[in-house]
Amino acid sequence: MAGGLAKRQRSQLRELTLKFGVSLQLGDFILLDGRWFVTYSGLLRLAYRKGCCSMTAEPVREYCDPTLSRWVFRAAVGRRPGTRLFVAYGEANPGNTSTLAKGCELRIAETRATARALRKAFGIGLCSVDELGSHPFSVRPRNNDCSNGQPRLRDKLCLLIRNYELDPTLVKRYAADFCGTETLREASRDLVEAFVSTISQEAANNRAALVCKLNSYNQPEEVRS
């Protein structure tokens, strides 16, 4: 992908990689409308690498109105025990979220608050893609109840594998690498959700490139004597 970027974008990509250790391949950030945006999964991986000691998020109830699907969250991130907390707020309502995420405003407000707190804690100047309001890439569709579990994501991933005729074993290996876990089953829901969104975009944009990437996870069997 880097070969198709403008000089300025390549320079920014190199700076991001060197400064934060983030990975374009793992989906830590994406390019939208010529600008780089950090992803929520990328922020979580950065926090894990930096040894983030605490991360909390709770609704600010005096500003929330469930009847209007309006939610405001306060998030706090601690980099080291006993040090200052980095605090940020996130708000979501039907007017600043995509119609695809109708009914998920509470989750989106929490994600926005946490993403902002993480960016402040680790000095990330890039805006998070989850803060883009009604931008179609800023949400990850779910059913309206927003309480569906991992099987829903697996169903979506299986459908994607079928539609694009991908090797399921290689997809699972790619997913585990993306999430930074030994197996896909061990990954958190947020990371799995981010992976499904990323591979869906990759498949739609350039299936051949995705297949090439998946083939890099093809591990030959050991020859036993």
**Helix (H), strand (E) at residue 5:** none
**Tens of pLDDT along 152-178?**
667 677 777 877 788 888 888 888 888
What confidence category does residue 114 fall into, taking pLDDT thresholds of 50, 70 and 90? very high
Which pTM value belongs to this model? 0.58
pLDDT digits 0-9 by tens, 59-78 = 999 999 999 999 999 999 99
Distance from C-alpha of 93 to C-alpha of 102, rounded to nearest angstrom: 9
Ordered DSSP codes for 142-176:
--TT----HHHHHHHHHHHHHHTT--HHHHHHHHH
Give the model's pLDDT for residue 66: 92
Lowest mean pLDDT segment, chosen from 31-35, 97-101, 162-166? 97-101
Between 92 and 182, the more confident residue is: 92
Q: What is the mean pLDDT of the chain?
A: 79
Domain that holds residue 199: 148-218
**Is 185 part of any domain?**
yes
CA distances from 86 to 56, 118, 173, 189 (A): 11, 8, 35, 24
Contact between 86 and 116 under an 8 Å Cβ cutoff? The reply is: no
State residue 112's pLDDT score: 92
Judge whether 193 lies within some domain. Answer: yes
In a domain, 211, yes or no: yes
Has residue 181 been placed in a domain? yes
Q: Provide the pLDDT confidence category of residue 133 given band limits of 50, 70 and 90.
A: low
- pLDDT of 110 reads 92
Q: What is the DSSP letter of 219?
A: -
Pick the closest to residue 73 from 83, 85, 81, 63 (CA basis). Answer: 63
14 assigned to some structural domain: no
Residue 139, pLDDT > 60, answer no
Structural domain contains residue 4: no
Give a yes or no: residue 162 inside a domain: yes
Structural domains in the chain (count): 1
pLDDT at 102: 75
- Asked if residue 194 belongs to a domain, the reply is yes
Instruction: Report residue 12 as tokens.
Output: 């920014």
Query: pLDDT-based confidence at 6, cuts 50/70/90?
Result: confident
